[in-house]
Chains A and B, each alone.
Chain A
Amino acid sequence: MDSYKLQVHNISKSFPGVLALDDISLKVRSGSVLVLCGENGAGKSTLMKIINGVYQPDRGEILIDGKKVLIRNPIQARALGISMIFQELNYIPEMTVEESLFCGRLPMKLGHVDWKTVRRKTLELLEQEKLPYTPAMKMKDLSVSDIQMLEILKAISNEASILIMDEPTSAITQREVERLFQKIAELKARGTSIIYISHKMDEIFRIADDIAILRDGRVVETRPRAELDIDQVIALMVGRKIENNFPKRPIPIGAEALRVQRLDQPGVFKDISFSACSGEIVGFAGLMGAGRTEVMRALFGLDPHASGAIRIGGKDVVIRTVKDSITAKLAMMSEDRRRYGLVPVRSISENVTLSSLKRFIFHGRLHKAKETQVVGDICRRLNVKSPSLGTVVEALSGGNQQKVVLAKWMLNEPDVLIMDEPTRGIDVGAKYEIYKLMGDLAAEGKALVIVSSELPELIGMCDRIYVMCKGEIAGELAREEFTQEAIMRLATGLEKMTREAS
């Protein structure tokens, strides 16, 4: 009963006009993992920011080891043994590993930085955690998961006894996820309490000791993992029952809409040939670094390709720029919406019409009324939640941002739509809506090409899947052949090896 490391009692927090947290209580034992799940906007981040001292609660208290504490800022939180790993990694590309590890708490000696101690401690930590980096490596040369590992290392070196992780797997590969989970297990064994925020059901059920579900600023349920199943968690999160995770509809497959032949870019991908028909959803699976995104970017005109032929709607097209793609009725939603999809400081309207503004220009003048009407229609259709169409998109949740990007491309009325990681970093409810929209678009006769690292998503939604491995297409699977194993065999190159051996 008293072994709770961290207790949160009856915390409420309101912002002008909004009750963000409503009487929240949570408990975490030493050496256990509490998974916190809930849709975007449920209040998870606000709660974590309160625990980390970024916000102050209006009511309620926080207890650590049974003692009441006041956490006024993140520095105090750190002193109390609380470390937080944010969803979006913040790092300085030019910093070295050791600088980054000790950033903000460099040991000093006689008024200057004691680099010798820094080096020694860094080596010790790297050794202890068996990480293959050298202290002088630059952050920019590390992969996302390496940086994530370093963040964890930082937390450990801080002797954090409470570690908060906000969707740590949203940008790392399956193998790296395994490494992370292994690390979490080790930390647990050392007695660290972990609060893990995630949307991903498979993860939640693998690592959780307890699961707490937040909805609309309230804890709707906290139970040990064993007492919950996936359907229950999803139902609790969205507050309604989702009967089918993947609303796949039978849609008649029409004429060939896209054919790519022998697309080649030396050193990046080679001999890429594939097709997609009207009404068809075609998936692209593969491990990270297999070249899927690179192929799509080249196809769309964002990156160059050396050779190859592209046919869209039965016509040969040459694509050198995004403009060529738009003319050819090809559209692409990028995997990184913040970087390639949105202009954060501008309004929903401006973002939605960004690629189709020509439609709204009459005699050189922008027709605002028509723009507002068209944007309003499509946002209602996609169920974009926002106070107004003039709201800047940086204020929207991930799911709504993704819908804005989708709306932008839908206004171009493309015949072929490429979606690269369409559901990354968005909550279950919004994911379901995106899946439904995929079905709607296919039913309208569009050809969809989906690149995804989430196999269940591809298996659930696609008619055919191409699997890429090391810059080449390793194989093609029809819907009846879909299994995670079959895809992984191709993606890891296992299939090819066995075929060549026989």
Chain B
Amino acid sequence: MSRIGKASGAWSEMTRSYSIYLVLIALLVISSIINPNFFSGANISNVTRQVSVTTILAFGETILIICGLLDLSSGSVLALSGLLSVASYKVTGSMPLAFAVAIGVAMLCNLVSAVMVTRWAAPSFIATLAMQEMARGGALLFSKGQNIYQIGDYVKVGQGSLGFMPIPLIFLIGLFAMTWYILKHTRFGRSLYAIGGNQEAAKASGIDVNRTKIMAFMVNGLLVGIAGVLFMSRVNAGLPNGAINYEFQGLTSSIIGGTSFSGGVGTAGGTVVGAFIVGFLNNIMNLANINSYMQQIARGAIIALAVIYDIWTKNRRTKSLVRSVAK
């Protein structure tokens, strides 16, 4: 009597997860029609460098949102960790050390947020809002509000290429692989989905909720730290006021990529696509000389559409599933 097999549930799941890819392809086609320069090597390489930083932040947001958390501090922590990394590089000239400093600082900041969330049960919204202020203040205090220039070869990471591949893109691919692997193939990944989907049930199934949350913040810290180096390197300076509001770009990419704010749902692939949709859209609007205020309105509208679409498909999907199962 059992009716287990591949059937309609999997199908609706597929159309849903592929629709976002169709949006991206449509966007690329429209963009190339609007502006023939769109597909030029220089433009694509430029977009990739811009998008890399926010996409890496979006991976962190996706991991956290899946687990029912979020990070409002990633832009500030990026600035603080990137700035300290630049400073350490100016003193020592060591790139590995510069990376270690950035990652170390970002992970430390995330550890503080994680402790606030796990130990004192602060909502992640509040904990990371506090961290946003503290990290930004820390960056400004350290640099006395001044930018750091003449950073030498530090710039190579963000602006250089390995063959035809921009270096930030290589990082992006590597970190995508890591995020995908974590979410798809590890116990930690499954725990993230379970906790975001139903924390009580996860706990009652023997999952160490606090440890998983701390680990989620640590992975986010790693991502933010690397993004910090890429950002400072691309702008060729240590900017204490850099990357303002980048956490929102990360969140936007993640949500457009299908990560559900109710927790328990989201993928690495969707996040990349979401980030590239945002990135290409910004790019084509720039190429088309659209007024920057208009651009901002357009971005807002896209977030609204993405969320409405998400809720709409989710309802439809659940209903059709309930029906097929009820039968």
* A residues at B contact (CB < 8 Å): 15-18, 20, 40-41, 43, 302, 321-323, 325-326, 332, 334, 339-346, 350, 353-355, 357-358, 361, 364-366, 368, 376, 379-380, 383-392, 394-397, 400, 408
The CA-CA distance from A395 to B319 in the complex, in Å, is 8
Inter-chain contact A390/B9, CB cutoff 8 Å = yes
Q: Contacts A302-B203, A354-B202, A383-B2: A41 and B186 contacting too (C-beta < 8 A)? A: no
* Minimum Cβ distance to chain B for residue A226 (Å): 32
Inter-chain contact A376/B4, CB cutoff 8 Å = yes
Inter-chain contact A400/B204, CB cutoff 8 Å = no
B194 within 8 A of A: yes
Residues of A within 8 A of B201 (CB): 339-343, 354
Query: What are 8 A-B contacts defined by CB distance under 8 Å?
Result: A15-B320, A20-B326, A41-B326, A43-B326, A302-B204, A346-B264, A357-B187, A400-B325
B173-227 CB contacts (< 8 Å) to partner A: 184-187, 189-190, 193-194, 197-198, 200-208
The CA-CA distance from A260 to B223 in the complex, in Å, is 48
Residues of B within 8 A of A364 (CB): 186
Residues of B within 8 A of A386 (CB): 3-4, 9, 325
Residues of A within 8 A of B133 (CB): none
* Minimum Cβ distance to chain B for residue A410 (Å): 13
Inter-chain contact B190/A345, CB cutoff 8 Å = no
B324 within 8 A of A: yes
Closest to A385 in B: B3
Residues of A within 8 A of B189 (CB): 366
* Minimum Cβ distance to chain B for residue A396 (Å): 6
Inter-chain contact A387/B9, CB cutoff 8 Å = yes
A-B pairs with the 7 shortest C-beta distances? A395-B321, A343-B197, A387-B7, A355-B205, A41-B326, A391-B9, A322-B206
The CA-CA distance from A179 to B197 in the complex, in Å, is 37
Inter-chain contact B4/A397, CB cutoff 8 Å = no
Residues of B within 8 A of A380 (CB): 2, 4
- Seed contacts A18-B323, A41-B326, A365-B185; 8 additional CB < 8 Å A-B pairs: A43-B326, A339-B201, A344-B197, A345-B197, A368-B185, A387-B3, A390-B13, A395-B322
Inter-chain contact B193/A379, CB cutoff 8 Å = no
Residues of B within 8 A of A17 (CB): 8, 323-324, 327
The CA-CA distance from A341 to B323 in the complex, in Å, is 22
Q: From B5, B187, B202, give the contact of A366 (CB < 8 A).
A: B187
Q: From B187, B206, B327, give the contact of A361 (CB < 8 A).
A: B187
Inter-chain contact B318/A392, CB cutoff 8 Å = yes
Residues of B within 8 A of A354 (CB): 190, 194, 201-202, 205, 207
Residues of B within 8 A of A346 (CB): 193-194, 197, 264
Closest to B314 in A: A345
Interface size on B (CB < 8 Å)? 45
Inter-chain contact B320/A16, CB cutoff 8 Å = yes
Residues of B within 8 A of A391 (CB): 9, 321, 325
Residues of A within 8 A of B4 (CB): 376, 379-380, 384, 386, 388-389
Inter-chain contact A340/B13, CB cutoff 8 Å = no
Residues of A within 8 A of B260 (CB): 345
B262 within 8 A of A: yes
B112 within 8 A of A: no
Q: From A344, A368, A387, give the contact of B8 (CB < 8 A).
A: A387
Inter-chain contact A18/B324, CB cutoff 8 Å = yes
* Minimum Cβ distance to chain B for residue A378 (Å): 11
Q: Contacts A361-B187, A365-B186, A388-B4: A355 and B206 contacting too (C-beta < 8 A)? A: yes
B265 within 8 A of A: yes
* Minimum Cβ distance to chain A for residue B224 (Å): 24
B144 within 8 A of A: no
* Minimum Cβ distance to chain B for residue A277 (Å): 25
Inter-chain contact B325/A395, CB cutoff 8 Å = yes
Q: From A302, A350, A379, A395, give the contact of B190 (CB < 8 A).
A: A350
Residues of A within 8 A of B206 (CB): 321-323, 325-326, 355
The CA-CA distance from A353 to B321 in the complex, in Å, is 22
* Minimum Cβ distance to chain A for residue B189 (Å): 8
The 8 A CB mask of B282-305 against A (1 = contact, 0 = none) is 000000000000000000000000
Inter-chain contact A340/B1, CB cutoff 8 Å = no
Inter-chain contact A387/B321, CB cutoff 8 Å = yes
* Minimum Cβ distance to chain A for residue B132 (Å): 29
Closest to A327 in B: B206
Inter-chain contact B2/A384, CB cutoff 8 Å = yes
B10 within 8 A of A: yes
Inter-chain contact A395/B318, CB cutoff 8 Å = yes
Residues of B within 8 A of A384 (CB): 2, 4
Residues of A within 8 A of B327 (CB): 17-18, 20, 41
Closest to B264 in A: A345
Closest to A322 in B: B206
Closest to A353 in B: B190
Most-contacted residue by chain B among A15, A43, A394 (CB, 10 A): A15
* Minimum Cβ distance to chain B for residue A63 (Å): 27
Residues of A within 8 A of B10 (CB): 387-388, 390
Residues of B within 8 A of A18 (CB): 323-324, 326-327
Closest to A326 in B: B206
The CA-CA distance from A17 to B325 in the complex, in Å, is 11
Closest to A360 in B: B187
Q: From A20, A365, A396, A408, give the contact of B205 (CB < 8 A).
A: A408
Residues of B within 8 A of A326 (CB): 206
Closest to A409 in B: B205
Q: From B184, B185, B262, B325, give the contact of A387 (CB < 8 A).
A: B325
The CA-CA distance from A380 to B319 in the complex, in Å, is 24
Residues of B within 8 A of A388 (CB): 4-7, 9-10
* Minimum Cβ distance to chain B for residue A347 (Å): 9
* Minimum Cβ distance to chain B for residue A416 (Å): 15
Residues of A within 8 A of B323 (CB): 15-18, 20
Inter-chain contact B5/A387, CB cutoff 8 Å = yes
The CA-CA distance from A380 to B2 in the complex, in Å, is 6
Inter-chain contact B1/A385, CB cutoff 8 Å = yes
Q: From A322, A357, A366, give the contact of B204 (CB < 8 A).
A: A322
* Minimum Cβ distance to chain B for residue A103 (Å): 23
Residues of B within 8 A of A332 (CB): 204
Q: From B202, B319, B325, give the contact of A396 (CB < 8 A).
A: B325
The CA-CA distance from A396 to B264 in the complex, in Å, is 18
Closest to A45 in B: B326
The CA-CA distance from A365 to B202 in the complex, in Å, is 20
Most-contacted residue by chain A among B194, B207, B318 (CB, 10 A): B194
The 8 A CB mask of B138-152 against A (1 = contact, 0 = none) is 000000000000000
B117-154 CB contacts (< 8 Å) to partner A: none
